[in-house]
Structure formats: C-alpha cells, structure tokens
Amino acid sequence: MNRYLIVFLLLFTVPSLYAQVIGEKHYPPFVIVPLGVRGGLDESNLSSYMVAAGGTDDYICLDAGTLFAGIQKAVDNHVFQGPASAVLRSRIKVYFISHPHLDHVAGLIINSPEDTAKNIYGLPSCLNVIRDKYFSWQSWANFADDGEKPQLKKYHYAPMTPGQPEKIAGTSLTVKAFPLSHGTNYESTAFLVENGGRYLLYLGDTGADTVEHSNRLHQLWEAVAPLVKTGQLSAIFIETSFPNEQPVKSLFGHLTPDLLMQELAALNKTAGTEDLHQLSIIITHRKPSGNQEETIRRQLEGHNPLKVRLVFPEQGRMMGF
Amino acid sequence: MNRYLIVFLLLFTVPSLYAQVIGEKHYPPFVIVPLGVRGGLDESNLSSYMVAAGGTDDYICLDAGTLFAGIQKAVDNHVFQGPASAVLRSRIKVYFISHPHLDHVAGLIINSPEDTAKNIYGLPSCLNVIRDKYFSWQSWANFADDGEKPQLKKYHYAPMTPGQPEKIAGTSLTVKAFPLSHGTNYESTAFLVENGGRYLLYLGDTGADTVEHSNRLHQLWEAVAPLVKTGQLSAIFIETSFPNEQPVKSLFGHLTPDLLMQELAALNKTAGTEDLHQLSIIITHRKPSGNQEETIRRQLEGHNPLKVRLVFPEQGRMMGF
C-alpha cells in the first residue's frame, strides 16, 4: 500500500476511532441544562431541568416553570443553537411534572401553542389538576387529550404508578415516580432517572417528614439507599426554599438548610454509609426574597456534616453527573 | 436684608418654585412602565403595563402576565429603585385583568405570596376564572376573598360593570370597562383610564368585529369617538398578535396589521376626524415566533393610511402620553 495512503488513512481513521472508543467514555451518565432554578416570584427563572443521557441530544424535562426564557439563556450561553422555540420543539421529548403549582408548570402551558406533540408524565393527582385547571378553555386552549372538549390532542397525559419504571421512548432513560408530601394533603413527586445502571434523583417541592408528619421521604430514602451504597446514584436535585430562620408554621411544605441536612442524615443512616461525600446535592427552589438565596447558600455551606458536594445550579449552564 | 441672604434665598427658593409652578406642567397626563410586551411564549416578557398619573408614583397595573422580571428590567434601567419585590409591593396599587388567559395573569399568581393587599378589578367572567382555576388550592394558595376555603383575603375581587366608572383609591385615576370579543364565546376587556379629563385606552386581546361576528369594537369606538374628536384621548394600547399572512381561521381572536388598520378606520369614521395623526397607537402582544415581531412592525409602518403615531413599547422603559 502506498505510504501516503497509509498516513492518510491513519490521520482520518484514528481520530474518529478515538472519539468512538475513548472519547465517549468521557460523557457523564447525565447532562442537565437548568431552564429555571429559583423558588418563585421571578417568572423568568422558575423550576425546570432538561436531562439527557450523556452524549445524546434527547432530553426529558423535569418540571416546566420556565421554558422559553431558560432555553434563550442556554442559547445565549452557546449550550444550544437557537432559536429557542426550535430547541423547545425538537430537543425536549417529554415532560415530567412533580406537582401542579403554577411555578412548576406555567412554561409548559404558555409555550404549548408552539410545541410539538409530547407526553406529559406525572402522578394522577398532578395530571388531573393540569387537565381541570389549566388546559380548560377558560385558562387556556385544551392542548391535551383529556378534559374539556374540544381536545386538541397535542399532549398525551401519561399517568404514572409509584415505583413502576417507565421507559422513555427516543431516549435511553427510564423514570420511576415516588410520591412526596408538600404541605397538608398536597402531593408532590420525586423522579428517579436511570441511564445504564447510573441514577439521578429529582425531587419536586417537599417538606421534611418530621414537619409533614409523613414517611414519604423515609420511603424514598429506603428505595434509593442501595444505589447510594454502590455509588450508582450520583446526584440528588432537592429544594431548600427557606433559610433556617423561617418559622416551622410558615414552611408551607418546604425545606430549610437544617431540615435538608436532617433528611440527608436519614438517607446516610438508611444506606449505612460513613458519609455522603460521593453525592452531589443540587440545591433547587431557593426563594428569591431579599437576600434569602445567599443566606441559604451560606447556611448550607456552613453546616455540611455529611460532606456532600453542594451544587448551586445556574439557569442555562450545562452540568454533568 | 443682607444681600447675601437674598441671593441665598433666591437660589434655594426659585428652583423649588419653578419645579412646583412650571415643572409640573411638563408632566404628561399618564406615565406608563411596560412590564411585559410580548404576545406569548417568553415567560419573562408577557403582557403587563403599569400606568400612573404623571408626576405620581401610584400605579395601576393593566394585565399581569409578567411582573417581577419586568420590574427587574425597569430597575436595571433606573426607572425604579429596587429591589423588585419592594416596587411590586408599594408602587402597584391595584390590578386590572382584561381576561384570564395565563399569559395575562401568571405574574399576579406567582408573585402573590410577596404582594401586599390589593384589589383585582375585572369583568365577572374574568374574576370567576381567576377564582375557580388559579386561586383554587390545587393550582395555588387562595390569596383572594372568594372561592375555595380557606381564603387568605390578601386580594379583594372588585367586579366591574361595563361603562360604569370606578375611582381608584390612592390615585387620581378613574377606569371604565368595555367588553371585547376574543374568539368564540370568550370575553376580554378594554379599560378606559381617565386623569383630569385626559384619557388612555388599553385593550386586552381582541379580534376584529368582521372576523368575530361581533360589534364589541364598534361599541367601544362609539364610546371613545367624542374623546378622539376633542383630542382628549392620547393613546390606545392595542394588540397585533399576527402578521397579515396569518390565515383567518387561525387568528384565534387576535388582530393583524391590516385588521388593526381596518378597525382604526372604523374609529376614524365614527369620530368624523380627517385622520388620527394625534393618536399614539401602542402595539402590544406581538407573538415572538420566528421573525414575526419584526414582520408585524414592518407591515404596520408600511401601511398606515390614518397617520397614527405607531409606538412599539419596550419592557422596563418608561413612556409618557
């Protein structure tokens, strides 16, 4: 063989082989693009997280408080190529909604006229409120396939059964739902996302078991403890809405830094681990009143006995776990 | 009297006299701070306009699609002194909601936990949907004084009767409501705001009478025609959601540039004026899909037979009329 041809082949084949064999090993199991990270008030930045298997562009969207404005921020940061509405249409494959408070679902409703056909996953308690209160022809056109007629049938409601895994078509992800308590008689949801034996856990708004007089978090910790022990669970997205000064009677089903650490201690005990230093805890839903966001960060960093990796997500900035 | 004292007094008294006697004459009848100007999708910039009598800081808020993010923009532009939540609490005295589609009311719901006690004005058809669909304990806590119990009673629903003026406490403004047609069997509202014999007209989403098979705009033009004739009406805020290319069957109760000009011709005819060159037409609710906002602007500027002053409002930039 001509030696120039050999050099030519090496030059063009080896980098491609490298990308396939070596390069792909560098993809993290999950890539996340936060579309909104604040716990209320700021309509431009409300809870929503796009999650894909590393190395793919096929995202599920966990909660949908803000979509368009968050995607626009990600486009500005060169995470996606715009326009924002094209990213919304083609990159987001399905929605998972943790609970139907408006700050977790407003973006989905408001963007529905421009969206493509998708499934909306959630517990029945959540999907029923979306059906009856938002896609109702009085609040909005009914873009879904249940509820008030005419039904425009762009969205399909996909009710979940707690603990039963759902394979998400068009992705390599599987998702399980676990019910949470978010104030008296109000159900929220945690989603456990799996990609090839690696896990990410996302919790919607939730109070602590002690405050909620509930065992929902205890049950969730029991379910994920084996994954913590083996190191298969790399990240937990969990709220810390208020600083420690918030009176217990004004928690409204939310966590403080101390209550979060108390719940993580319960997880650590259930898992039988020494500490949780291998776990990334992504702090969601800090309420932006006054200086509260900074106070919450300071309180968490100042008292972290289990040595978790505290992460404060930024709107439109990609993360990998 | 010591001549230095005379100079001193002149220096300090005259500018203050000037401000009182001369300066105040320069205030326009109305100052407006747009908090959101886009017709959907972008959660950070949805319909909402703060309106005050010139020279005062006491605003009414016409629609409330985006509040916090719009106030933040105005703070960044030095229109208000922050923080945004303080402006929301103290500068906005009351809300007027034209219709309960989520892109006109999401900001009010989402900011309610931090807001102060206020009236929400609207036609009963609108207030009933806010009561039943949003402040319902399933979508959100009930911060109002009607509907599902417990009622937190921060907001008082103030139902309006079409054509009946409401004096707005804490301001020098009076507001009248006129029903509009926004698609089949869906009621929207125009608000006519008065300050000392000068008027500003704000229309919520509306279709053209010809398309809606309605006479609601005709009736509105009849009511305001005398104010156009005398020059007392200085500005009309009206939507142009779609460009001229939008098929009639896909207007969903909205206007195009041609339909807007057709309706303004009807107003001009009713008023018996030669043209409407004294009238500022503030274009609201352009839908931000693709290049549509720019297309709508070009089409309006390209065909303006009545010579109205076309104004394209910007979020967080103060205007006077």
Contacts of B101 in chain A (CB under 8 A): 139-140
Please check whether residue A4 lies inside any domain of the structure.
no
In a domain? residue B294: yes
pLDDT of B304 strictly over 60: yes
What does the DSSP 8-state code read for residue A115?
A: P
Q: Which of A132, A101, A106, A105 is nearest to A252 (CA)?
A: A101
Task: Return the percentage of chain B with pLDDT > 70, whole number.
Answer: 92
Mutate to test the interface with B, among A35, A37, A38, A41 (most CBs of B within 10 A): A41
Q: Please say if the pLDDT value at position B9 is more than 80.
A: no
Output the six-digit token pair for A59.
Answer: 């995202």
- Helices A257-271, A292-302: axis angle to 10 degrees equals 40
- Is the pLDDT at B33 greater than 80? The verdict is yes
Distances from the Cα of A79 to the Cαs of A31, A72, A316, A318, B289, in angstroms?
11, 10, 7, 7, 21
Does the pLDDT of residue B298 top 50, yes or no? yes
Nearest CB among B41, B43, B290 relative to A43 is that of B43
In a domain, B1, yes or no: no
* pLDDT digit string, tens, across residues B121-131: 999 999 999 99
Q: Is A68 on the interface with B (CB under 8 A)?
A: yes
Alpha helices in B174-214 (DSSP H): 209-212
Q: Amino acid identity of A265?
A: A
Q: Using CB atoms, which residue from A72, A83, A139 is nearest to B133?
A: A139
Is residue B15 predicted with pLDDT exceeding 50?
A: no
Q: Which residue of A has its CA nearest to B45?
A: A44
**Does the beta-carbon distance from A85 to B111 stay under 8 Å?**
no
CA nearest neighbour of B217 among B196, B238, B198:
B238
* CA–CA distance, A118 with A95 (Å, rounded to integer): 8
Whether the per-residue pLDDT at B16 is higher than 80: the answer is no
pLDDT exceeds cutoff 50 at B21: no
Please give the Cα distance from A243 to B107 (Å, whole number): 24
Whether residue B134 and residue A138 make contact (CB cut-off 8 A), yes or no, is no
What is chain B's mean pLDDT, rounded? 94
Q: What is the mean pLDDT of chain A?
A: 94
Distance CA B192, CA B120 (A): 16
Size of interface A-B (CB pairs under 8 A): 105
Q: Is ipTM beyond 0.95?
A: no
**Mean pLDDT on B11-40:** 71
In the beta sheet, which residues pair with residue B203? B190
Region A254-270: mean pLDDT is: 98
Write the CB contacts of A211 (distance below 8 Å, at least 6 apart in sequence).
A248, A251, A259
Residues of A in contact with B66 (CB under 8 A): 43-44
What's residue A18's pLDDT?
42
pLDDT exceeds 50 at position B13: no
Do the Cβ atoms of A133 and B129 come within 8 Å? no
**Residue A12 domain-assigned (yes or no):** no
With vertex at residue A67, the alpha carbon angle to CA A238 and CA A156, rounded to the nearest 5 degrees, is 90
Q: Which residue of B has its CA nearest to A106?
A: B106
Question: What pairing do the DSSP bridges indicate for beta strands A319-320 and A309-311?
Answer: unpaired
Give the chain A residue whose CA is nearest to the CA of B139: A101
Q: What percent of chain A has pLDDT over 90?
A: 92
| Interface contact flag, B106 A67, Cβ < 8 Å | no
The 10s digit of each residue's pLDDT in A272-303 is 999 999 999 999 999 999 999 999 999 999 99
Q: Which residues on adjacent β-strands are paired with residue A189?
A: A179
User: Which of the two residues, B101 and A26, has the higher pLDDT score?
Assistant: B101
A139 touches chain B (CB under 8 A): yes
Q: Sort out which chain A residues have CB atoms less than 8 A from B106's CB and list them.
A: 43, 102, 106, 110
Residue B152 domain flag: yes
Res. B211: pLDDT tops 70: yes
CA dist A216 → A203, A212, A221, A241 (Å): 12, 9, 9, 18
Q: Has residue A11 got a pLDDT over 50?
A: no
Helix, coil or strand: residue B228: helix
The domain that holds B287 is classified in CATH as 3.60.15.10
pLDDT at B268: 98
Q: How far separated are the first and last CA of chain B, in Å rounded?
A: 46
Mutate to test the interface with B, among A35, A37, A38, A42 (most CBs of B within 10 A): A42
pLDDT at B26: 79
Please tell me which residue, A311 or B5, carries the higher pLDDT value.
Answer: A311
Determine the average pLDDT of the residues in B285-306.
Answer: 97
Domain extent, residue B118, equals: 29-320
> How close, in Å, is residue B44 to chain A by CA atoms?
4
CB–CB contact A129 B140 (8 Å): no
Number of domains in chain A: 1
Res. A26: pLDDT tops 90: no
Is B302 contained in some domain?
A: yes
Q: Is A232 domain-assigned? A: yes
Residue A6 lies in a domain: no
In this prediction, residue B2 carries a pLDDT of 56
Residue of A nearest to B35 (CA): A43
- How large is the average pLDDT for residues A175-181? 98
* In the predicted structure, residue B172 carries a pLDDT above the cut 60: yes
Q: Which residue has the higher pLDDT, A17 or B235?
A: B235
List CB contacts (< 8 A) between B132 and chain A.
138
